[in-house]
Amino acid sequence: MLLGVGMSIIIGLTGENCAGKGTVADYLVKKGFYYYSLSDVIREELASEGREITREALIAKGNSLRKNFGADVLAKRIVERLRPDRNYVIDSIRNPAEARAILATGKATLVYITAPQETRFERMKARRREGDPRSFEAFKVIDQLEISSKDEFGQQLAEVFALATKKIVNDAGFRELYDAIDSMLSEISSEFKKDRPNWDEYFMSIAQVVASRSNCIKRHVAAVIVKDKRIISTGYNGTPRGIRNCSEGGCPRCNSFAETGTKLDECICSHGEENAIVQASYHGISIKGATIYTTFSPCLICTKMIINSGIKEVVYNSDYPLGEASLKLLKEAGITVRQVKLEK
């Protein structure tokens, strides 16, 4: 069919094995998108030949179709089925010619879905599909073959990824993934413009408001601890309870305008993360398994408190000047760390 002016949105999906393309497609379907996979064309061919549909058979047949009818044959056959009054999500784009054929409609956005290799292998093990590699080493070998194949009619994922204009890193939970999809859609079309903030934006914006209560004269920082989408504690930086406020001369280090990273042993201000954790303890509230939203990435002292408190996730807005070691320590402790930049 000819794609006319009325054609709506086409989202093309590409990514490594077990990166979460299927989950993204399912979410888009719930939002009214019609689903196609380039693999559908291959499955139809195998079914017509009476052959068993396995991963190996799909790859071999796909390569054969591309060699005999052109590297873009799968995409062209799917494009012929599209109607101008619907939104579509098209999965399993694995060859650059396929990507170009879909992008040539002038209505498509190619989205690269990815996740760390270790994460993807754990997802593969969890699905327990027959024929999947059993060891991480075998998984890495297959991964590399699919990503960097030299066969122009085969799977050349690296070249496809390079054509993508949007990228979603699926390394956290469903909530974070869905928020990322919503943000991506709002960037593509005003039809999906967000009319309210997602959860990350919501809690981070609250943390920024909490920071306005800070009495520190050097930097206003705050943290909000959240569990089950409910705020259970907040904290902002400043002098301890009963001590003269920093803005009133209470902290000698801040009031001497010491350079960043110097005279830290003289600072009597408590940090926002520290106060949020201590306030929860003061009121007898467990923060085990919670998420902490903080306007700056935590310092090393706050990092140790976060780890020992049982907090499972740290979401920060801006980078703390001396925060590199802290972020490394959090990740080593198995705590999810994400940056969500939110303009004030």
Summarize the confidence of residues 77-83 as an average pLDDT.
92
Which pair of tokens denotes residue 258?
């010491």
The pTM for the full model equals 0.63
Candidate list 16, 98, 176, 273, residue with the active-site label: 273
DSSP line for 65-106? HHHHH-TTHHHHHHHTT--TTS-EEEE---SHHHHHHHHTTS
Which ranges constitute the DSSP H helices of 213-335? Answer: 252-255, 272-282, 300-309, 324-332
**More confident call, 60 vs 23:** 23
pLDDT value of residue 330: 95
- Reported as a single tens digit per residue, the pLDDT across 244-272 is 777 667 677 666 666 565 556 667 778 99
pLDDT in tens, 27-64: 999 999 999 998 889 999 899 998 888 878 888 888 88
Mean pLDDT of the 215-237 span: 91
- Judged against a pLDDT cut of 70, whether residue 148 lies above it is answered with yes
Its sign, for the CA torsion 241, 329, 167, 39, is negative
187 counts as catalytic: no
The partner residues of 109 in beta bridges, in order of sequence, read 11
Structure tokens, 151:
């066969």
Distance CA 96, CA 147 (A): 12
Mean pLDDT, range 311-322, rounded to an integer = 90
